[in-house]
Amino acid sequence: MLQRFTLPDGGILTWREYGDPAGTPVFFFHGWPGESHQGALIHEAAQEMGVRLISPNRPGIGGSSRQPGRNLLDWPPMVTALADHLKIDRFRVLGLSGGGPYALACAWALGRHRVPACATVCGALPAAPGPDRRRLSPIYQLMLGTHDHAPWLLQGALIPLVRVARIPPPRPLMRLGLLALGPGDRAALLEKDAFRLYFPGFQNAMRSGMRGLWDDGHPYASRWPFDPAAITVPLVVWHGTQDRNFDCKGAARLAATVPGAQYHEVEEGHYSILRNRARPILDSLLVLGKS
């Protein structure tokens, strides 16, 4: 069930909860394009492992108020406000794909007194102009280049995309589209019940419209407003060797900049990793927070 909370500035933040309502609190940050329904991907694992999974929608997504021009560090105060509203003093953070930088931002900004541990799963890499962009998929490189030089063109392209993408594709067309992914991702997305878990988060993000998607994607094209090397919260990074969105070498390099960070590289894709490795990922986050 989608829930709503009024932030101190009067804005609205929406969220969903999964897992065990009485469990250890973990804030789950969705990818891009995505929204809070992505938390359903690990509901069963969280329930079995005693994890209360709180999955908020970032501004402009899933009913949360827009905040045009925001950056990664505008997110931690919102998470803190929601945690205070829920009377949660300390909480772990888990960022999937595009949620990865937001999880790192919370670790950097809030410190160990609020965040005992942080995990990223196939997290987005720094995407500001420079050599790091070469570690991104060609489609992301194209989108970022367009963002830099002709943002109006990218915004225009998003308008028909958000309309068409709200409609579940026929299975034959879906199979054709999945050819661009690795074998692990194709297998995971074509499983009988996989689509009902993956598609609603994508579909609901598209319902937020072009402006919401633009607001949520814009921070990736800018330099991160914090230095990962200054993160003191225990960090575990999970990445798939078959990930065609973000290169695992870039993920390993990012993890190496954070003192004491753990790095796990597994034979998974960008979409299959959380579905197939939810339990060890959650376990690593829970154990790390106790160390």
Distance CA 119, CA 279 (A): 13
Sign of the torsion formed by the C-alpha atoms of 82, 41, 246 and 91: positive
Structural tokens at position 285: 């986050």
CATH number at residue 284: 3.40.50.1820
What is the predicted pLDDT for the residue at 275? 85
- pLDDT tens track of the chain, all 291 residues? 889 999 999 999 999 999 999 999 999 999 988 889 899 989 999 999 999 999 999 999 988 998 888 999 999 999 999 999 999 999 999 999 999 999 999 999 999 999 999 999 999 888 655 656 666 667 666 666 666 666 655 555 565 565 656 555 555 445 555 555 667 676 766 666 666 666 666 777 667 666 777 788 778 777 889 999 999 999 999 999 988 888 888 899 999 999 999 999 999 988 889 888 999 999 999 998 675
What is the predicted pLDDT for the residue at 142? 66
Name the phi and psi angles at 69, rounded to 5: 75, 10
**Closest to 25 (Cα-Cα) out of 59, 49, 41, 58:** 49
pTM surpassing 0.85? yes
Distance CA 82, CA 289 (A): 20
Q: At what angle do helices 75-85 and 100-110 cross, to 10 degrees?
A: 80
- In what helix (H) or strand (E) does residue 228 lie, and over which residues does it extend? none
Which residue's structure tokens are 């060797």?
241
Check: CB of residue 18 under 8 Å from CB of residue 27.
no
Q: How many domains does the chain have?
A: 1
Domain residues for the domain of 184 are 3-290
Where do the DSSP E strands lie in 246-285?
A: 262-266
